[in-house]
Amino acid sequence: MKLKLIACEVLYREMCALIARSPHQVDLAFLPKGLHDIGSSGMLERLQAAVDGADTPGYDALIMGYALCNNGISGLRARTLPLVIPRGHDCMTLFLGSRSRYQQYFNDNPGTYFLTPGWIERGESAGELRQLSIQNRNGMDLTYDQLVARYGEDNARYLFDELCDQTKHYRQITYINMGLDTDSRFHDLAEARARTNEWKFDAVEGDLSLLERLVFGTWPDTDFLVVPPGHQVVTTYDDRIIAAEAVQE
């Protein structure tokens, strides 16, 4: 097969490693990390533009290096080529290899912030995406000094604690080792960040098998949604996570 992969750049290292070994020819397009931060309609618009641009003769399918991603993939339409999407809430399913493993870990460790090499080296959204982000639009990424300038000293402390202090939403950092690290750099950075925030630290082994099947062309319905041409992705709110429905024009 000849496949085109459209993936979030947070998967850069993993995807490149897998594509090198794929039995198929896989062309590759990365989109910037942080689309989930601009809201579902903004993310969908950009994904659809990427799909539409890639929907050209010669490919057998478009494969997506995305999960539901805060509903950012909901509404995505397959034009003339089928779209293949792993079933998962977010990229942690892709890194951990299955949504059951992710759910289990999630339930057992509430308030975990996951880090991978991609999340570390491409961690902060920059430039235009940052401007468009929900955080930016709601004043969540203002510094304390900016808050003082806009709202006065009294309100600044209150707003900082309420809106801008992101540390209160998490208790733990978990580093997912995808097995591609050549040294302990990323692991050490993750551990240091946990220490700075005074959070618990855990490290687990990643599992490339789900992404491998995506790139190797093995797409059982249990783990992948194949969206036929003329159909779109819908959220199912159950364990399937996503389904395809015919586009009503």
* Residues of this chain that bind another protein (CB under 8 A): 40, 68, 70-71, 89-90, 102-103, 106-107, 110-111, 134, 137-140, 142, 147, 150-152, 154-155, 158-159, 162-163, 168-171, 235, 237, 241
* Residue count (the chain): 249
Min dist. Cβ of residue 163 to another protein (A): 6
SS3 172: strand
CB nearer another protein, residue 106 or residue 201: 106
Residue 136 Cβ vs another protein, minimum distance, rounded to whole Å: 11
- Least separation, in Å, of the C-beta of 140 and another protein? 7
Tell me whether residue 23 or residue 110 sits nearer to another protein (CB atom).
Answer: 110
Where would I find the H helices in 139-216? 144-159, 185-197, 209-216
Which residue number, 26 or 173, has a Cβ lying nearer to another protein? 173
Nearer to another protein, 187 or 207 (CB): 207
Closest CA to 220 of 86, 79, 81, 59: 86
Nearest to 15 by CA among 85, 65, 53, 84: 65
Proportion of the chain in helix, strand, coil states, percent, rounded to 5: 45, 20, 35
